[in-house]
Amino acid sequence: MKRVRLSRRVGAPLLAVLVLVVACGGSASDEVAPACNGISPANLAYEQTAAGQCPTTPKLLTGTGTVGTGCSDATDCAPFCCQCPGTSMGADVAECSNGNCLDGSTACCLYQQQCAQQ
């Protein structure tokens, strides 16, 4: 078997990219939110004002469930204010996944992925 040796100029950047992909928990073929702990956005709920901002007093997302609290849907969970990257848009966001309220980091990650698709 022939050994292939990469020069430092090529090897170091390639290694950095591989480490980044592994650290983010994804690959180019992942389709279900790999950067969001593999959680599907199917149960994500969000609410925003007419101006596209987080409401100060939500009307739909009024749940009080904290991270890990049992839930039947996203409206049982306390919302988190999340922003769309690179825009001034934002929304209150909540998700119930596998019967538990998600943390703000994961819920916002899922919302941000939806922002990127719009």
Element (H, E) at 46: strand 44-47
* Total number of domains in the chain: 1
Confidence of residue 29 (pLDDT cuts 50, 70, 90): very low
* CA end-to-end span of the chain: 48
Check pLDDT > 90 for residue 9: no
Mean pLDDT of the chain: 78
User: Is residue 15 one of the residues assigned to a domain?
Assistant: no
Domain that holds residue 77: 33-117
User: Is residue 94 one of the residues assigned to a domain?
Assistant: yes
pTM of the model: 0.68
CA distance 53 to 74: 19
User: Is residue 88 one of the residues assigned to a domain?
Assistant: yes
Residue with tokens 């990469």: 6
